[in-house]
Structure 1
Amino acid sequence: MKKTLLLITGTILAAMMAFSQGTITIDASKQYQTIEGLGGFGPDNGVTDAFVKHVVDILGCTAFRMATPPDFINSAANLTSGTINASSSGMAANVSFANKVKAKGQQLIISTTWTPPAWMKQNNCECQKWGGICCNSPCGTYNCPDTTNYLKTSEFANYGKYLDLYCKDFKTKTGFDVYALCIQNEPMFNEPYGSALLYAPRFAAAMRTIGARFAADPALSGIKFYGGEHMCTYAGNNGGQGDNSKYIPYLMDDASTRQYMHAFAVHGYVDGMSLDIGSSGDWASFASKTEGYGKKMWMTETGFASSKWSDYMNSGKGIFLALKYGHVSLWTYWVLFDQIYADGVPDGRTAVAKQFFRFIRPGAVQVDATDNTSNMISMAFKKGSDWTILILNANTSEQTITLSQAAGTTLP
């Protein structure tokens, strides 16, 4: 039996024991989400043994996200015949990374599509198209006015077959299944890299076609689906930008689509690039909606601000709010090779991430934690006889606390 108490403050970030003034009351009779995994995007900028050791052994990652490659099958004729592209660099990177983390006992990998194959799309391009130029066009970085950057409705069934063959080939080469798929990354706007528009009504229609295919195949029926990976506000996912942004109504409220969804997933950005830590109320709305349908809540991409300690603290607050109030069961950072890895040199982002990744493990259940100290929030997790209690102290001075147990709760 062990108890871990983690204290995050504006002046220190360390695992430590704290006692006396101020009280946190733990009530194990009130239980929330069960953690599936915490981590980030894995196969990027090369897959070295040193990198894998860092993210698994040092950071403590237990969930990894990767990109479903758009060149796994490179023509309609090859899809018909089931001929895969043996030269797909994206598939090679995914398989290499998966086998390396598998060797370290980790097998929770989710896979998001940034773009379907170009030959399935109206613009015949893997990303936004402008002035006849595919990707990196002179119109600007984001949101070129390309209304043709989308998966054709006539290709929904073929796209389902494409994902079918991708998942089966992945298992053949790794020995385990992809844990879950998202059929489109950030589906509301064009991007200069792999992207496609898949507005909420069409996202749901595609999801029903693909979900039905997977559910009917015993080799695929255990693979889960998540989405829509739009930005992180509740209003923004509930029609804040019109019918096209109604991902909650179309993916959660509609039972015919919801049956195929394991989790509703969002991204922690304001605009696709700038960090959005969210708010307790917003996250609580997500939790209420998903739990009302017996579904999970995920946060599958965000960045950590990087210039100063206050930015690192905001990043820590973002994870804290998602877990405590959003009851998020799977949380993945953007590219782990980014400064969370930092070529093996730890920095503030490494320190922030470790406080969560290393100590909140798969299978841990969040239980109720309340405190009576201003500018401080706490949360607690229990797995068997092991406890992890986290405290975020937003005060400018150290705080001392006493742990209290509610009736029926026994702390070590």
Structure 2
Amino acid sequence: MKRNLLFLATAVTLLLFSCSKDETLQDIEENIPKGTATINASSTQQYIRGFGGASIRGWIPDLTSYERQKAFDPNNGMGLSVLRVRVSPTPSEWIKEKPTIDAAKQYGASVIATAWSAPAWMKDNNNLVGGKLKSGNYSSFANHLKNFCTEVGGVDAISPWNEPDWECGYESMHNSAYEIASFIRNYGANCGAPVMGPESLNMNESLTTTVVNNAGSNLKYVCGHIYGKTPYYHNWGKEVWMTEHITDNSANSGNDWASAMETATEIHNCMNVGWSMWVHWYLRRSYSLIDENSNVTKRGYVVTQFAKFIRPGSNKISCTANPSSGVYTTAYKKGSKIVVVAINTNSGSVYQGFNLTGATVSGFDRYRTTSSSNLAHDSFNVSGSYYGITLPGNSITTLVSR
């Protein structure tokens, strides 16, 4: 008995020593430490389209050639994999979208387009602000969207309405859920690209469900924004995309580190409820991913921790979402590559264990962003299914298997 107790005490001492030194650990499957994030690479979840931002050229200056490369290049840039653009109600403006669209495509990004309003003459108030698309002009509006797609060389998805449930003083259009569904059901096939919708202000569950249930097969993707909304799970039977948001639920509306950490947690939440895409509002702005001086911001580096390493074609895999207090983890797989993202919202460092099943890896490249570092890189080896690392306080860490 004494010998058994001595053996157990020695094993615990070695475990704690290894943790403090941030070294890899052998897995003792029957005694995995409490608080371990369990990852099952055999349990495949939603397809990942990607992470990105909006370039609304008609309202602010377009991205420069340098900023396009910095935003979308997966090797020498942020690796953003989604670009969102506006369908201007003025057709002569469309061709000006092409340089940024072409650059995003060149780097493998998806391009999605949103119409804030149909041309004024198609609406019941003959105005770009407010009003409704008249049913007698549904065919004309579908043709308008199709012509946009042709002019810019094609997009991956198009949204006929932006925030139809939000009354505002700028370009907008406020048809009901049944009217939106009717347009998509009868004219969605004529819009020049797969249709996404209804893109409500706060992923309104009732409005979205009504559109999904009545739009038929022409609605290819469900999308919406999350202003004032916590991401949630709903099985609409289609990919769900979060196509616009900027942190607005605290004083952290700039590009301080607290704001960046809120963005990290928001992306985690979107992925954890089964959504396939996350898109920030303006891609370039003082509070955005790239600032007005073409520099990647702290928020931009946080998004890079996802976008650069979780490439289109990946799937989320089963992973403990909140393995310990203040720590949030998700995991992804593409082919044999495993990517793990761990967010530590605690002010102090935390030792976090992981137990990976369904895949075998020999080690990881590690990238960490904190308030004082950006994508700091090192690597470590693993032996067996269990490993552990130290997460710095208020940080985001991405592990890429090798």
TM-score, length-normalised on structure 1? 0.72
CA distance in 1, matches of 2:298, 2:151: 38
How many Å separate the matches in 2 of 1:166 and 1:252? Answer: 24
> Match for 1:410 among 355, 360, 385?
360
- Rounded to whole Å, the distance in 1 between the matches of 2:78 and 2:23 is 23
Question: Which shifted more, 390-399 or 343-352?
Answer: 343-352
What one-letter code is carried by the residue in structure 1 that aligns with 2:300? T
Unaligned runs of 5+ in 1: 1-16, 73-87, 129-148, 172-176, 215-219, 239-245, 271-275
**1:163 aligns with one of 139, 145, 151:** 145
User: Is residue 2:38 matched to residue 1:29?
Assistant: no
1:341 is matched with which residue?
290
Alignment partner of 1:355 out of 305, 323, 329? 305
Do the aligned partners of residues 18 and 123 (structure 1) sit closer, same or farther apart at CA in structure 2, a change above 3 Å counting? Answer: farther
User: Whole-Å Cα distance in 1 between the matches of residues 55 and 255 of structure 2?
Assistant: 23
Please say if 1:39 is aligned against 2:41: no
Q: What's the counterpart of residue 312 of structure 1?
A: 260
Tell me, in whole angstroms, the C-alpha distance in 2 between the residues paired with 1:362 and 1:184: 25
Tell me: CA distance 1:19–1:116, structure 2 relative to 1, closer, same or farther (3 Å). farther
Distance 1:167 1:391, change over 3 A: same
CA RMSD of aligned residues (A): 2.0
Identity %: 25
For residues 306 and 182 of structure 1, the distance between their equivalents in structure 2, rounded to whole angstroms, comes to 28
Q: Provide the residue aligned with 2:373 in structure 1.
A: none
User: Match for residue 263 of structure 1?
Assistant: 221
In the TM superposition, residue 101 of structure 1 has moved relative to its aligned partner by: 2.7
Are the counterparts in 1 of residues 116 and 161 from structure 2 also a CA contact under 8 Å? yes
Over 3 Å counting, the alpha-carbon distance change for 1:18 and 1:170 in structure 2 is farther
Q: How many Å apart are 1:377 and its aligned residue?
A: 1.8
SS at match of 2:69: helix
Task: Report matched runs for 1:41-80 at 5 Å.
Answer: 41-44=54-57, 45-57=61-73, 58-72=77-91
- Residues 19 and 402 of structure 1 are in contact (CA less than 8 Å); yes or no, is this contact kept in structure 2? no
What amino acid is aligned across from residue 103 of structure 2 in structure 1?
A: K
Letter in 1 for 2:95: A
How many angstroms apart in 2 are the aligned matches of 1:212 and 1:316?
A: 36
Shift of 1:25: 1.4
Q: Does 1:296 align with 2:299?
A: no
1:19–1:400 Cα contact (<8 Å) kept: no
Q: Does structure 2 retain, via aligned residues, the 8 Å contact 1:19–1:401?
A: no
Counterpart residue type for residue 347 of structure 1: T
2:325 pairs, out of 370, 374, 380, with: 374
Match of 2:113 in 1: 111
Larger Rg: 2
Deviation at 1:296, TM superposition (A): 0.3
Q: How many angstroms apart in 2 are the aligned matches of 1:52 and 1:372?
A: 37
The residue number in structure 2 matching 1:251 is 211
- Counterpart-to-counterpart distance in 2, 1:210 and 1:333: 29
Residue 237 and residue 379 in structure 1: after superposition, are their counterparts in 2 closer, same or farther (change >3 A)? same
Q: Name the TM-score, length of structure 2 as normaliser.
A: 0.74
Change (3 A) 1:302 1:405: same
The runs of 5 or more residues in structure 2 that have no matched partner are 1-21, 26-32, 248-252, 363-402
Which of 101, 104, 108 is equivalent to 2:104?
101
1:141: which partner in 2? none
Could you say which residue in structure 1 is the equivalent of 2:174? 197
Q: 2:272 aligns with which of 313, 324, 335?
A: 324
Q: CA deviation at 1:43?
A: 4.7
CA deviation string 1:82-108 (max 9, x = no partner): xxxxxx23x133112112333x43352
What whole-Å deviation, never above 9, does each CA across 1:290-327 have from its counterpart, x for those lacking one?
A: 2xx2x1010000114315432222121111100122x2
| Amino acid in the other structure paired with 1:32 | Q
Q: 1:204 is paired with a residue of what secondary structure?
A: helix
Do the aligned partners of 2:317 and 2:333 also contact (CA within 8 Å) in 1?
yes
1:209-246 deviation line (CA, Å, top 9, x unaligned): 222435xxxxx4xx31111111335xx331xxxxxxx2
Alpha-carbon distance between aligned partners in 1 of 2:268 and 2:151, rounded to the nearest angstrom: 37
Provide the secondary structure at the position in 2 that maps to 1:262. Answer: strand
Kept in 1: contact 2:104–2:110 (CA 8 A): no
Does the CA-based 8 Å contact 1:179-1:224 persist in structure 2?
yes
Q: Aligned equivalents of 2:241 and 2:218: distance in 1?
A: 15
SS of residue in 1 equivalent to 2:350: coil
- Contact 1:265–1:298 (CA under 8 A) maintained in structure 2: yes
Deviation at residue 410 of structure 1 after TM alignment: 2.6
- Matching residue within 387, 393, 398 for 2:349: 398
Matching residue's letter, 2:89: P
| CA shift in 2, pair 1:105/1:201, >3 Å | same
- Structure 1's consecutive aligned runs of 4 or more residues displaced over 6 angstroms after TM superposition are none
Kindly tell me the number of residue pairs found equivalent between the two proteins: 318
Hey, what's the Cα distance between the residues in 2 that align with 1:120 and 1:63? 30
Q: CA deviation at 1:182?
A: 0.5
CA distance in 1, matches of 2:255, 2:296: 14
Q: What corresponds to 2:158 in structure 1?
A: 181
How far apart, CA to CA, are the structure 2 residues paired with 1:232 and 1:189? 9
Q: 1:247 to 1:360 in 2, by over 3 A?
A: same
Does structure 2 conserve the Cα–Cα contact (< 8 Å) formed by 1:98 and 1:107?
no
